[in-house]
Amino acid sequence: MTKTLPTRAEIPEQYTWDLSTIYPTDAAWEEDYAALPALLDEFTGYQGRLAADGKTLLAAMTLQDTLGRRLDRLAIYAFLRRDEDTANSTYQSLADRVQQLGVRAHAATAFVRPELLALPDGTLDRLMDEEPGLRVYAHDFADLLRGKPHVLPQAEEQLLAQVGELAAAPSTVFSMLNNADLTFGTVTDEEGSETQLTLGRYQRFMRANNRALRADAFLKLHGTYSAHRNSIAALYSANVKKNLFYARTRKYPSALEAALHPDNIPISVYTNLIEAVHDRTDLMERYLTLRRRVLGLDELHMYDLHVPLVADLSDEVVYEDARKQVLAALQPLGAEYGQAAETGLSSRWVDVYETPNKRSGAYSWGAYDTSPFILMNYQDTLNDMFTLAHELGHTMHSYFTRRAQPYTYGNYTIFVAEVASTLNEALLTHYLLQNTPDPRRRLAILNNQLDTIRGTLYRQTMFAEFEKLTHEAAEAGEALTAERLSEIYYDLNKRYHGAAVSDEAIAIEWARIPHFYSSFYVYKYATGIAAATALAQQIVDEGQPAVDRYLRFLSRGSSAYSIDLLRDAGVDMTSPEPVKQALDVFGRHLAEMEQLLAETGALASEESKA
């Protein structure tokens, strides 16, 4: 008998989010939507007048904030309603309409940045002195002016804007090739059926207990990319050349520095991350050797890195238990954080269960004037409990930021976005280990955390180094052929994994990584987990002083540069120390796993494999 999903009407109300707190009815949404175009027309009347006097600039900035707040609220309602049931044409229409309104709003406000940048030096300071109400925008103005040396004359800026679509071609073509045109053949799945190999199924196959299936999927997927290696190398090379063109045109010393500039991140953050991970690749080799022994293998391959080491652990974690355990795990953050989290989880901020046509996955999303909402598709697993903790971290970051900051600083950068979420996962791991005596369950928790750090801190740092090396090669005039890219990538895999893994086929993996077309982005995953792990350890070790610093970090939004926010919280990302602290945690988890495996007799002896 086929098990069907419950409808939304069949889900108890407390397990659905309450979007009526945004708009009580669709009619109220329509009323707000209809009023926004008049505000856009009013705003365009400020074009050419921003610097008339301080009062005029403040009025324009205030109206721009009002527009943003109204548009954000409209968008959140429309998109969350659509995600409840992606087949609902009413909310598809609302989402499409608000997107179109967003494009119109962007066009109507686009004059602000160039007009302010064109002002003579000192003008904004004079206007802030003239109108104290403008002081709230002081950081925004300073950040705007920081980029002035890299802004071109108006005609050249217009020309660059016109080539933007051409510049996106490598990413667009790769996406079409990767998602639509490439086919990977078939494999025999766990049930013995011939199954089409797809990018989505590949991840599931890599966790399968059947090693022949894992090997077949791995070799066929990478074999397909290898067959198209020259075309994909040309696309990647074109993307690198695009980055070099923009960096040189805007007078940056390198493509890396151009990419770090918007968030004001020193290049030392990037290089220190790589160097700190290089220093502890011994831990990775030790973990992979342990993995080989647990799996009872003579030789570890890349397709052996994702299969769980604790098989058939079927303990369910129902949502109410997960909710209680997550809140208990977050108690070290103090009463204020705990009460806010409890309020969110009991006030219908979370849409818990899967229903027909509901958007897959999980996220936390909201606007300045709404609650932060969490979408889940909870399936009663340990992993789902960690996902709840993760999304609740994002939610609390948004909650504390918007409670404390004006709209202009009511969000935060991608550089810090994963800190609050990953810190919650680290505290949940700590709590579960403190309260889980069962050795096999402890092993499952440790396995989860070790693989999270391996996949995020080690792997994303390796990706970041690949981008750095390939851009440096291109800047030196070297051709990025398929052979050269594969050589760089294979050498990095050997460096990061040591002698523990044997697989020449991994040399082509660079060809399948879509993040490489969002250049110099992946390092933020690595710095995020490093900062979060270090902060979580400080909270456990120091108690209230560390908690106070962390809550202040959550409350500051984008009112200062990300690097300064983290430094004030207790992690200086310009230093390698936070990365080292995170790697020390990896080492401690690894040591406990080794001990537990030895005590339970789960390690295959080297003699038994001979």
Q: Among 353, 384, 366, which Cα is nearest to 80's?
A: 366
Q: Among 266, 141, 230, 182, which Cα is nearest to 527's?
A: 266
Give the integer Cα–Cα distance in Å for 274 and 467.
12
CB atoms within 10 A of CB 31: 11
Q: Please tell me whether residue 300 adopts helix, strand or coil conformation.
A: strand
Q: What are the C-alpha distances in Å from 12 to residues 18, 85, 86, 322, 409?
A: 12, 17, 20, 17, 36
Give the integer Cα–Cα distance in Å for 447 and 70.
45
- 80-83: list long-range contacts, CB under 8 Å, 24+ apart: 80/17, 80/19, 80/22, 80/365, 80/373, 80/375, 81/19, 82/359, 83/358, 83/359, 83/375
Backbone φ/ψ region at 295: left (φ over 0), alpha (ψ -120 to 50), beta: alpha
CB atoms within 10 A of CB 405: 19
Q: Among 503, 474, 499, which Cα is nearest to 490's?
A: 503
Residue 391 bears catalytic tag? yes
Give the integer Cα–Cα distance in Å for 401 and 248.
36
Catalytic residue from among 156, 320, 336, 391: 391
Give the integer Cα–Cα distance in Å for 40 and 34.
11
| CA–CA–CA angle 349, 352, 355 (5° rounding) | 125
Reading across the β-sheet that carries 363-365, which strands appear in turn?
Answer: 350-351, 373-375, 363-365
Q: What are the C-alpha distances in Å from 465 to residues 43, 165, 496, 502, 528?
A: 45, 28, 11, 21, 16
Give the integer Cα–Cα distance in Å for 565 and 552.
9
Give the integer Cα–Cα distance in Å for 349 and 116.
39
Q: Are 383 and 431 in contact (CB under 8 A)?
A: no
Structure tokens at 208: 């399968």
Query: Taking each helix axis from N to C terminus, what angle separates 138-146 and 123-130, rounded to the nearest 10 degrees?
Result: 170
Give the integer Cα–Cα distance in Å for 441 and 315.
9
Give the integer Cα–Cα distance in Å for 5 and 377.
11
Q: What are the C-alpha distances in Å from 222 to residues 172, 216, 505, 506, 510?
A: 21, 10, 7, 7, 10
Name every residue whose Cβ is closer than 8 Å to that of residue 186 and which is 6 or more positions away in sequence. 194, 195, 196, 197
Structure tokens at 342: 């409890």
What is the residue whose two structure tokens read 């050249």? 156
Q: Among 589, 269, 275, 604, which Cα is nearest to 448's?
A: 589
Structure tokens at 150: 């890299």
Q: Which residues are catalytic?
A: 391
